[in-house]
Structure 1
Amino acid sequence: MKFTLFSAAAMLAMTLTAAQAQDATFEITGDAAKGEKVFRKCKACHAVGPEAKAKTGPVLNGILGRTAGTAADFGYSDVMVQAGADGLVWTPETLAEFLEKPKGYMSGTKMSFAGLRKEEERTDIIAYLASFTAEEEGS
């Protein structure tokens, strides 16, 4: 039953326009300090912070409220670009669902990471990512 409610929340989040999402205030419930430790699993492909540059994956500064597949200077998979064109915006809910099992959430994504199975890890990493704004972009 929880999955159905979670999916409904994710679907609602996808209906936000990019402008609405950028202005949205998200409820962040995780522990950013713990999320920083979880992010070690992501560092091989992603970067955050003022000097962040795209690697195998895009820079994650300002990910919350961003339309999927739209970070500058990164070549996304067609499916990620299409998801953004269809209205997918990264909110805590949509990002948590994606991070649980990326290829299960979005078949065809380039992201080869198996996922974060523990809900606490997903919540904490989202809190950590929320601490980096788009203005910190290093490009």
Structure 2
Amino acid sequence: MSIDYSKYNIRELEDILDNIDGEKFPDRKRDAEIALSELLKHSTTLDDKPGVGKRLMGMVLSIVLAIFCVYILFVAVVDQQILMRRDFISYSRWPVTFWLLVVFWSVCLLVSISWGRKLYRSGNVK
């Protein structure tokens, strides 16, 4: 008796593969693995892909980091000072340190944007 694994979704197939006895039922395990690989190959929705929660959390964190970096850079440009711990680093007192911090926060902004793009593209969103 053969089981039609094409009617199962990704989570169900993963659960089957985790719990099936491969020595006792090698044909069923092979059929489930084939069905899962076919389903993953043709799936385009984020809900069916493994690791969606981690990818979504990473995207949210990259957006939050980008917003924070933009805020820091905006305040630096408008006020010409950056808050570091309990003291402000101002352009007039420490110009080199000020510009190093501006470069640092600019790099953080670029990294957060590229990280978010990478995570977004890994979801195969159309």
TM-score by length of 2: 0.21
Structure 1 or 2: more helix by fraction = 2
TM-score if structure 1 supplies the norm length?
A: 0.19
Structure having greater relative contact order (Cα 8 Å, sep ≥ 6): 1
